[in-house]
Structure 1
């Protein structure tokens, strides 16, 4: 799937281009909704489905989710032109903006929203704060690519988030869950004991493996085929697997907690409201910031999606390991991606509408 063939960009393209798109590309939003419904159906109607899926894990990492994310990320990372990354790292406006938005603004916004919307539900509130601390390193790559963002910038910013995640997650957890609540007179707070090795393992699995595979694929592919044949012949063959991996991941996510979500709908709504506000504030705030400092559409879009997305796998794993699989904190972690998936696919269309408004094809 090339940038000019992005399924979300269909309204801006000529009918002849639309006619060439596959059914998967043309009706992507429909397939995502069907995948969500299918996952919820499995989780609700098949006895023990969620429990079985949850038990298929190693070191706290869900193997089904890991498989889906790796399949989803590999084709996109194989498209990255790694010899152009220095042009991204040299863009100080983008790099500094990403660090500030992701590691100063994002956690603070989620902390505030969690206390505003859930003052009487401490377990759900804590779960949301953990979601806000886990900055996105995986699924943001697919949203960015669908919205025709800068692939090279996405790779750099995701790698930057990964480094900071290993270094700062535990410290920020202590600050937002223990120190800050006591400073503000909101209670005694609670600690968050997260081993650094667990965060590092999460980063290695969900970024390191597909990044290494994508880098080696491009290097070997260009050496054997040349850049032109690699991009015109090989990449179109593996491109659809990104969407197959996305749909598989969505089915697994919704099946894992289908019973819990459908049996506690009011709790899910309470958790979903601050999440909806969070995604809107982070995406549109970062988008406006990118435009204000003069970034191109592509890099503005990348900044916005890296700001709005979260590393749900890490958030869920931390909540389960610290508070238990049946805890309210774990449910908040699960609701995160259930809300994030449809919202961010909607924001893909919003970004592309802005792109059309700028006259970019």
Structure 2
């Protein structure tokens, strides 16, 4: 079990401080996010990608690559993940967004703007997480090998299912999905850290033994993972600080259905895993991958379809803003309830 140090114990406080720092940087030192925004490839921020890579690498080190083949012997976890992500999540996202943005908030948000916000929410809901789920799995002591398999299979389905699901829900026939963003994200968030970790693991085990790897080398990255998460937050919020300041009410209103959806989807996957008597290390990532979103793809698609200044693009950005604080709450819930599962 991963030990929680004092720094991680107060992670919620550091997250709040990081968000504030990011917003202040965006407002008072805009040159920093403006400069860093130039380093973007296929709609993916390279500085943020590097930070996420630093967060993912320690988890990849834990993977015993021979055990990946054993994931097929635990089909229940994969069945839950795939069912929740592709047969439930996109449609519940549409329902919650429609209910709040078009019905409950009718009169507060103009109908045409609400429709754009709804579109952005759908783009988020149809894209299960590729990168950050490794962080959530790491923080909940998830099975690293199984998480990798879950993400890989979902990414393959994403290439086929994303376009028709978005098309059906938004009734758009000509959808220009930025596949380059998908392929590049998979390459930088999975292939690079996985390959690096694989090589590192082989060399370290060969030279020092597996016990040294597990007990000495991997724990060195515990604080680095947390620091990487906080730096990622600072960058994200520095990029979007101006948006937050200019649209506080709408951002708050958009966040409500997104937050409800996140808890709802996590609850389905996590409780389902509990009822099926799955091991906790499989149950936690199974719930996390559906709750978290592939926001890089959602933002890129929103900009491609509706434009940079559209309500759809703003809604996907709100998805980025609420995801980390909400997912950290789910991490706490998972960690506090792990004794209810088979371990």
Mark the CA change 1:281 to 1:177 in structure 2 (over 3 Å): closer, same or farther: same
CA distance in 1, matches of 2:73, 2:160: 23
CA distance in 1, matches of 2:35, 2:260: 33
Aligned to 2:309, the other structure's residue is in SS state coil
Mark the CA change 1:263 to 1:153 in structure 2 (over 3 Å): closer, same or farther: same
**1:93 paired residue among 65, 68, 76:** 76
The normalised TM-score by structure 1 is 0.87
Question: 1:59 maps to which residue?
Answer: 42
Residue 166 (structure 1) aligned with residue 159 (structure 2): yes
The normalised TM-score by structure 2 is 0.91
Q: How does 1:1-361 map to 2 (within 5 A)?
A: 3-5=1-3, 7=4, 21=5, 23-119=6-102, 120=111, 121-178=114-171, 189=172, 191-356=174-339
Gapped runs of 5+ residues in structure 2? 103-110
CA distance in 2, matches of 1:358, 1:177: 39
Question: 1:12 maps to which residue?
Answer: none
Deviations 1:318-345 (A, max 9, x none): 2223322222111111111211111110
Could you tell me how far 1:57 is from its partner in structure 2?
0.9
Deviations 1:160-183 (A, max 9, x none): 1121222322232222221xxxxx
Aligned to 1:317, the other structure's residue is in SS state helix
Deviations 1:257-291 (A, max 9, x none): 11111211111011101111101110111111111
RMSD value over aligned CA atoms? 1.9
Aligned to 1:148, the other structure's residue is in SS state coil
Contact 1:166/1:200, CA 8 A, preserved across alignment: no
CA distance in 2, matches of 1:246, 1:111: 29
Using the TM superposition, name which of 211-220 and 126-135 deviates more: 211-220
CA distance in 2, matches of 1:150, 1:132: 24
Contact 2:84/2:268, CA 8 A, preserved across alignment: no
Deviations 1:114-161 (A, max 9, x none): 211222311111111001111101111111211222222211111111
Contact 1:297/1:355, CA 8 A, preserved across alignment: yes
CA distance in 2, matches of 1:258, 1:113: 26
Gapped runs of 5+ residues in structure 1? 8-20, 179-188
Could you tell me how far 1:214 is from its partner in structure 2?
1.9
CA distance in 2, matches of 1:124, 1:306: 23
Mark the CA change 1:194 to 1:75 in structure 2 (over 3 Å): closer, same or farther: same
Aligned to 2:37, the other structure's residue is in SS state helix
Could you tell me how far 1:359 is from its partner in structure 2?
9.6
